[in-house]
Structure 1
Amino acid sequence: MPDLSNKVCLVTGASKGVGRGTALQLASYGATCYITGRELATLETVQKEAEDRKSSGRIIPVECDHRNDENTRRVFETISVEQNGQLDLLVNNVFSAMQYWWDNFNVDFYEPGTSACGIINKVGMRNHHYSSALAAGLMIPRKRGLIVNVSPVGRKIYLLRLASGLRNALKDYVAKNNAVNLRTNNVAFVFLWPSIVLTEKMTKFIEKDDDEDQALNEIRASCRQMLDCSESVEFQGKCIAHMLADENMMKKSGQILLTTDLAEEYNFEDVDGKSPLSEQSLKILTKIYGWNSLSSYIPSWLKLPKYFYDMMFCS
């Protein structure tokens, strides 16, 4: 079990969903975890949830609108003052355009009035880069730290039009470059790829079956085929906790990491006791392509070789 009792963490956008789940897991392993969001009352419910669980660590809510650089800067200033300059982990999770994302699924970039790139990427790629720079400023003097960029479904394939793919592709590219810049200072920079995370919104999306949009229905069907590799909102937090406690985490810097691979490496399960199947699993891939009969004969442990998977999704 990771011991994070001496670690100071920051998870941005932790009011709900994956951010909330990550913060709860970090606190359960003993970390002091700052969380940000636009509504303090919502953040305080996450703090109370950690207390109700009797977590060995603690959660500290900080109200912040990450669309405002000054707001973001003050978060890191607060951590620096209260923790004597210590910050061991930044999880770039904040994303303010989720509702816009769903409401404008089929809006093309050339349609009049389209502003998706600005809306999605400002508190996505841009703010993640700014937060990473501020975090690095605290980590470099201590020669130790971990920065994690989180990429959702649709990071390298056509999904939800241009703006979503642009956000994730740029964020992953920036992470690769930042990893090189920070390596000499012993600060690791990775990007984490969860599979389908069963947030409340995702669960409702998968269960719905009366949408007139054929493209949405096709994606919904693919998501259903991948439920065997779906994750709880806290699975990612377990991955990050184990990485942060790993003395050899610098070996992972600059890499695209799958949550399921980390679970296998560190030998842990999801909070419900299940082990989500890897996206590299041939069982999952054959399901996605509609070969259900074939899929039933393939063992869960049989995977597509890593180099083939990287050529398909990571290059």
Structure 2
Amino acid sequence: MRNLNQKVIVLTGASSGIGRATALALAAEGAVLHLVARREQRLAEVCSEANARGGTATAHAFDVRDTEAFARMASRVHADHGRVDVLINNAGVGATKAFLETTDDDWAWTFDTNFHAVVRGIRMFLPTMIEHGGGTIVNVASLAGVMANTLAAYSASKFAVVGMSESLLLEYGDKGLNVVVVCPGVISTEIATASIDAGRTNGVIGPSLQKLLAAHGAAPEQVARDLVRAIRHPRFIVPTPMHATVLRRVHRMFPDLARMLTRRLS
């Protein structure tokens, strides 16, 4: 999919971080964007920015855990365009607690957004994609979805996304479907802040992660650049940016060394 001009693209988690950066990058290509996020005002601002950059953006303010709201959005998109060319499942959260402190509710909260909502989005749009000869599904996982970190619920949810995505590719790849899994490393986003605001932290890990991401996280625009490139030239796993590529290679070649480094960093 070399030319993204007038391609119909649905993007979740669009109000900040990787989602916002991706929306603006796609807008500059002339894409027709349907942007999803919980925060209505922030989402409206991103839509305005996207429209100013040459895209056509529509806001859909709802929580991706809300099946009925998701279905209403999908119906509207299909009614307006008859198709979706690209679905980007980007919305994500993560409880910042040690394993024994992570409650059943924390696990459910994390999986409902990071995994079940991804499945939900695919089920909403895949049939029409297949009907029209294919399309591209981009699932934003994490480096923690191919090499674990010490946030067990978050990492497990991202591993689930990677595994499900590979099954999806095996099942529908011969029907014109491209499946891309973007695996960002340490990125300066608001995910730790969201955990703190939702009360899903133990008061130590969350603030520490928040400081780490702010001080040393790569810019979301770097992820957006690689994501857009992957839509044009699909490949299954896309670590991003360069430090994620290096760490994944180390993990594959020297897993014990990678685990030791991860433990020390944690």
Same structural fold, with TM-score higher than 0.5 when normalized by the shorter chain: yes
Aligned residues: 249
Using the alignment, how far apart are the partners of 1:213 and 1:127 within structure 2?
28
Task: Give 1:202 deviation, angstroms.
Answer: 6.1
Tell me, yes or no, if the aligned pair for 1:29 and 1:241 is still in contact at 8 Å. no
**Structure 1 pair 221–12 and aligned structure 2 pair: CA distance change class (3 A):** closer
In the alignment, what sits opposite 2:140?
A: 150
Give unmatched runs, 5+ long, in structure 2: 196-201, 260-266
Larger radius of gyration: 1
Task: Give 1:141 deviation, angstroms.
Answer: 1.1
Using the alignment, how far apart are the partners of 2:25 and 2:255 within structure 1?
29
Using the alignment, how far apart are the partners of 1:76 and 1:309 within structure 2?
44
In the alignment, what sits opposite 1:173?
A: 163
Tell me, yes or no, if the aligned pair for 1:3 and 1:30 is still in contact at 8 Å. no
Task: Give 1:220 deviation, angstroms.
Answer: 8.2
In the alignment, what sits opposite 2:239?
A: 258
1:87 aligns with 2:84: yes
Q: Which amino acid aligns with 1:278?
A: H
Q: Which has the higher helix share?
A: 2
Task: Give 1:193 deviation, angstroms.
Answer: 0.8
Q: Which amino acid aligns with 1:31?
A: A
Using the alignment, how far apart are the partners of 1:310 and 1:130 within structure 2?
33
**Structure 1 pair 93–307 and aligned structure 2 pair: CA distance change class (3 A):** same
1:35 aligns with 2:35: yes
**Structure 1 pair 71–176 and aligned structure 2 pair: CA distance change class (3 A):** same
Tell me, yes or no, if the aligned pair for 2:11 and 2:87 is still in contact at 8 Å. yes
Task: Give 1:241 deviation, angstroms.
Answer: 2.1
Q: Which amino acid aligns with 2:243?
A: S
Normalised by the length of structure 2, the TM-score is: 0.80
1:308 aligns with 2:253: yes
In the alignment, what sits opposite 2:109?
A: 119
In the alignment, what sits opposite 1:232?
A: 219
In the alignment, what sits opposite 2:199?
A: none
In the alignment, what sits opposite 2:63?
A: 65
Using the alignment, how far apart are the partners of 2:206 and 2:37 within structure 1?
32
CA RMSD of aligned residues (A): 3.3
Q: Which amino acid aligns with 2:100?
A: D
RCO (CA 8 Å, sep 6+): is it higher in 1 or 2?
2
Using the alignment, how far apart are the partners of 2:3 and 2:137 within structure 1?
18
Using the alignment, how far apart are the partners of 1:136 and 1:309 within structure 2?
37
Tell me, yes or no, if the aligned pair for 2:135 and 2:177 is still in contact at 8 Å. yes
User: Secondary structure in 2 aligned to 1:154?
Assistant: helix
User: Secondary structure in 2 aligned to 1:196?
Assistant: coil
Using the alignment, how far apart are the partners of 1:173 and 1:14 within structure 2?
24
Tell me, yes or no, if the aligned pair for 1:64 and 1:75 is still in contact at 8 Å. no
Q: Which amino acid aligns with 2:42?
A: T
Task: Give 1:17 deviation, angstroms.
Answer: 1.6
**Structure 1 pair 234–58 and aligned structure 2 pair: CA distance change class (3 A):** farther
In the alignment, what sits opposite 1:10?
A: 10
User: Secondary structure in 2 aligned to 1:234?
Assistant: helix
Using the alignment, how far apart are the partners of 2:26 and 2:90 within structure 1?
14
User: Secondary structure in 2 aligned to 1:158?
Assistant: coil
**Structure 1 pair 21–15 and aligned structure 2 pair: CA distance change class (3 A):** same
Q: Which amino acid aligns with 1:242?
A: R
Normalised by the length of structure 1, the TM-score is: 0.68
In the alignment, what sits opposite 1:264?
A: none
Tell me, yes or no, if the aligned pair for 2:3 and 2:232 is still in contact at 8 Å. yes
Q: Which amino acid aligns with 2:74?
A: F
Tell me, yes or no, if the aligned pair for 2:8 and 2:84 is still in contact at 8 Å. yes
In the alignment, what sits opposite 2:150?
A: 159
Q: Which amino acid aligns with 1:191?
A: V
CA deviation map 1:88-122 (0-9, x unaligned):
11111113x45xx24xx23526x7x5422111101
Using the alignment, how far apart are the partners of 1:18 and 1:116 within structure 2?
23
User: Secondary structure in 1 aligned to 2:25?
Assistant: helix
Using the alignment, how far apart are the partners of 1:79 and 1:57 within structure 2?
16
Using the alignment, how far apart are the partners of 2:47 and 2:23 within structure 1?
9
Of all paired residues, the percent bearing the same amino acid is 20
Tell me, yes or no, if the aligned pair for 2:239 and 2:245 is still in contact at 8 Å. no
